[in-house]
Amino acid sequence: MPTIVSQGRSGVSGIPLPPVPNVLVLGGTTEASALAEALAARGLSATLSYAGRVERPRAQPVPVRIGGFGGVTGLQRHLRENRVTHLVDATHPFAATMSAHALAAARNGGVPHLRLTRPAWRAQAGDRWRHVADIEAAVAALAGPPRRVMLALGRMHVGAFAAQPQHHYLLRFVDRADLAPVLPHHDLVVDRGPFTAAADLDLLREHAIDIVVCKNAGGSGAQAKLVAARELGLPVLMIDRPADPGGKAVHRVDEVMDWLDHGAHRGV
Ligand code: 3Y8
Ligand code: NAP
């Protein structure tokens, strides 16, 4: 009976087995939460990461960490010190800095990286979209006589619209604002998505909105206002996404699970 001298992680053939997954998910989206559910259901070791932008981020079925990593080097250190085997960037398409850092840190640290993102929304029959490149272009596009504008951009970019103070703005924040927004005429709704078309239809009607401004977030969680705008025949200022951050990307949770099972360590 041969004496077993090593219990290393290798198969009978001596080819090293892939490490037991320990997944870091960069979250903050509906898709990230769905992935967390799938990872928990599979019993895989995983952590979901939030930046700490809101007071009470959604509870998750896996351990959560909150706060920045400290740039690319900070994330690289986190990957190493926590023995992360797979990095899944499931952040919002406008979280461009986080996505760039994730790709760089994964490549520098030799950690398999995958983006879980949603396809951009595309205008359908009945949509009255005007595409603008960024927040600044959306502000410029609002030049003109007073209107009733739904600014469905959250809290971080409201200040830019002070350049167009003539409008009445409907704002929607996740948390109550600690300071009154800088816009002289506004209503503030505190609500977190995912939103429904029926509720957003009521909201647009109740506030007599005549134009909607939003980011091309994609996905289902923020789409309700577009369905409502289409039904009411309202124009939409659609802010296009930042440049694609690169790296392999998929659109579905089952593609991520397949990558974890088969693809990650073949460099695919
Ligand atoms: C902290 C974590 C889940 C994820 C839910 C999705 C859907 C609902 C729709 C509108 C648009 C907006 C905003 C929005 C949506 C989902 C998703 C999504 C848009 C939470 C969350 C965090 C954030 C951060 C927050 C931003 C803000 C943006 C509101 C959790 C609820 C406008 C984006 O107050 C602030 O500083 C808020 C900041 C970044 C953009 C901004 O500029 O203000 N999201 N949103 C994440 C972190 O700390 O890492 O609590 O669940 C997540 C969600 N928000 O699991 O169910 O998948 O996109 N989020 C946009 O699309 O334009 C609202 O009102 O119609
Ligand atoms: P960002 O501008 O791309 O990132 C700025 C910095 O925030 C990053 O460099 C990182 O700090 C930290 N950060 C961002 N996402 C993080 C995460 N998931 N975990 C840990 N740190 C994170 O990001 P953002 O646009 O502000 O988005 C922040 C969060 O809100 C993300 O979770 C995103 O998915 C979510 N979100 C954003 C939007 C949006 O419209 N931007 C919409 C919905 C949800 P360090 O450099 O210190 O590591």
Q: Which residues contact 198 (CB under 8 A, 6 or more apart)?
A: none
Confidence of residue 177 (pLDDT cuts 50, 70, 90): confident
Do 9-118+243-266 and 128-239 share a fold? yes
Q: Average model confidence (pLDDT) for the chain?
A: 92
pLDDT higher at 4 or 84: 84
CA dihedral 175, 243, 222, 176 (to 10 degrees): 10
Cβ < 6 A, ligand 2 pocket: 26-29, 49-51, 53, 68-71, 74-75, 91-92, 94-98, 101, 215
Sign of CA dihedral 237, 202, 27, 159: positive
Distance (Å) from CA 90 to ligand 1 centroid: 13
* 93 within ligand 1 shell (Cβ under 6 A): no
Does residue 2 have a pLDDT over 60? no
pLDDT higher at 183 or 265: 183
Confidence of residue 14 (pLDDT cuts 50, 70, 90): confident
Atom of ligand 1 nearest to the CA of 172: 64
CATH number of this structure's domain 9-118+243-266: 3.40.50.720
* 194 within ligand 1 shell (Cβ under 6 A): yes
**CATH architecture, range 128-239:** 3-Layer(aba) Sandwich (3.40)
Best mutation site among 55, 65, 98 for ligand 2, i.e. most ligand atoms within 8 A of its Cβ? Answer: 98
| pLDDT tens digits along 200-221 | 999 999 999 999 999 999 998 8
- Domain locations along the chain: 9-118+243-266, 128-239
